[in-house]
């Protein structure tokens, strides 16, 4: 297996199975050295918990990166998840050109919206900043809502293949080299991932689970990055990550006490086996 050094930049929700507490173990399990740059530390994630604590780490990020530069530390890939501000987006853009090793790959998950709406912390200024980040990305992983905000397309809950084709072309026009559009569903009982690169699209369809589970976007993106950096094609990595995520949800769905995330850890052997 290939052994790459990957930096992932996102927050730490100490409890809740999302962000860095998902990315670090999944990327490590796929066989890569995984380095982290926390953008914030939260006691729990913000979906369903109350009274959580938050410590923003924006001011720490430049000093950490400066130290890495001094030590000549470079990364084979940088993968971003939730970024808390336009300032953090600017810092990440700098990292893509100052911390990059040869044959470097950048993965941007523009985690900022879902179900037709931006997350409460974000506004149009943040969207505009994210547009500048995806423009220099090698691979982007938006859902349909995020794709609409990034391209100015009308958000639709019901759509056809022509609508998705238009979204893909709009996303590619922003500058991103490869688009992984998640949550694309043309049937009631299935959903899938649309992969678009070099003007060619391919669709990976899989079964749909009606239960909404927090953190599955992070599970998917982390598994995709890990598989891609092991030399899998974008389409194969998209399929591996999708099947892994579905299995994580199925592993959790009958446990009503585990409402805050998915039990992804017991399913890691499946993911490892797919990359063997």
Containing 202, the helix (H) or strand (E) segment is strand 200-207
pLDDT of residue 143: 97
Say what the pLDDT of residue 130 is: 98
Is CATH 3.40.50.300 the classification given to domain 5-275?
no
Residue 16 is classified by DSSP as S
pLDDT in tens, 124-162: 999 999 999 999 999 999 999 999 999 999 999 999 999
Where do the domains of the chain lie? 5-275
Q: Are 179 and 172 in contact (CB under 8 A)?
A: yes
DSSP 154: P
Q: What is the pLDDT of residue 212?
A: 78
Can you tell me which residue has the tokens 């688009």?
Answer: 179
Are 168 and 180 spatial neighbours (Cβ–Cβ below 8 Å)?
A: no
pLDDT at 209 (0 to 100)? 87
Q: How far apart are alpha carbons 21 and 1 in whole angstroms?
A: 23
CA dihedral of residues 173, 176, 178, 184 (deg, nearest 10):
-70
pTM here is 0.97
Q: Are strands 190-197 and 200-207 parallel, antiparallel or unpaired?
A: antiparallel
DSSP 8-state code for residue 60: G
Q: What is the mean pLDDT of each run of 10 residues along the chain (276 residues)?
A: 95 96 98 98 94 96 98 98 96 97 97 94 96 98 98 96 97 96 94 96 92 90 98 98 97 94 98 96
């Amino acid at each position: 297996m290939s052994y790459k050094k990957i930096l992932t930049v996102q927050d730490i929700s100490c409890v809740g199975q999302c962000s860095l507490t998902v990315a670090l173990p999944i990327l490590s399990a796929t066989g890569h050295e995984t380095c982290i740059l926390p953008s914030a530390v939260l006691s729990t994630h913000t979906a369903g918990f109350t009274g959580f604590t938050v410590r923003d780490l924006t001011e720490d990020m430049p000093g950490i990166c400066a130290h890495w530069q001094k030590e000549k530390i470079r990364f084979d890939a940088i993968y971003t998840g939730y970024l808390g501000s336009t300032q953090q987006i600017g810092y990440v853009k700098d990292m893509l050109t100052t911390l990059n090793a040869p044959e470097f790959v950048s993965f941007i998950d523009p985690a900022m919206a879902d179900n037709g709406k931006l997350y409460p912390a974000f506004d149009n200024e943040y969207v505009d900043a994210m547009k500048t980040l995806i423009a220099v990305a090698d691979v982007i992983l938006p859902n349909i809502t995020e794709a609409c905000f990034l391209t100015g397309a009308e958000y639709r809950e019901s759509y056809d293949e022509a609508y998705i084709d238009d979204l893909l072309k709009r996303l590619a026009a922003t500058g991103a080299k490869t688009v992984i559009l998640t949550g694309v569903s043309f049937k009631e009982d299935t959903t899938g991932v649309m992969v678009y690169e070099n003007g060619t699209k391919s669709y990976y369809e899989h079964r749909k689970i009606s239960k909404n589970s927090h953190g599955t976007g992070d599970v998917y993106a982390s598994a995709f990055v890990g598989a891609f950096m092991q030399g899998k094609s974008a389409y194969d990595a998209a399929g591996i990550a999708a099947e892994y995520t579905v299995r994580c949800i199925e592993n959790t769905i009958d446990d009503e006490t585990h409402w805050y995330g998915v039990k992804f850890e017991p399913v890691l052997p499946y993911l490892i086996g797919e990359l063997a």
